[in-house]
Amino acid sequence: MKRTILMGMLVSTLQIACAQRIQHRTPEQRAAHKTEVLTKKLNLTTAQADKIKSVLLVQATRMDSLKAQMKVHRRSGRRQITSRTDQQMNSILTPAQKKQYLAWKAAKREKRAAKHASAS
């Protein structure tokens, strides 16, 4: 009986801890975080970082509004938003930074694919 109660308490504590870790970030927070990451990875100048942050803020806001739409339309909408964002990013980055950005995106894609493969 005591073990059952202790196990129940442990499980509920873990669930609460996980729920607290999962925080839904605002578009501003997501844009700022991604800009920080890209600034470190691509050695962006302050001017580039400001421009990229505004591009990413627009992307995050559009993605949030897209989540409210029907699931069928989300995939095509997400691709359009991502494509537009990439075009804007490429106009801001130098050729060397573009290569690093593409490598970073490819690494993220591989990591996501490996995560989905291991979950299946």
Residues 57 and 31: beta-carbon distance below 8 Å: yes
**DSSP single-letter state for residue 89:** H
Share of the chain above pLDDT 70, in %: 75
What the block records as the tokens of 78 is: 């997400």
pLDDT category at 85 given cuts 50, 70, 90 is very high
Is pTM beyond 0.75? Reply is: no
* Res. 18: pLDDT tops 60: no
Summary mean pLDDT of the chain? 84
Residues 47 and 61: beta-carbon distance below 8 Å: no
pLDDT category at 21 given cuts 50, 70, 90 is low
State pLDDT tens for residues 22-81: 568 899 999 999 999 999 999 999 999 999 999 999 999 988 888 777 666 667 788 888
Residues 35 and 56: beta-carbon distance below 8 Å: yes
> How many beta carbons lie within 10 A of that of residue 106, not counting itself?
10
Q: Where are the chain's structural domains?
A: 25-94
Q: Which residues contact 104 (CB under 8 A, 6 or more apart)?
A: 38, 41, 42
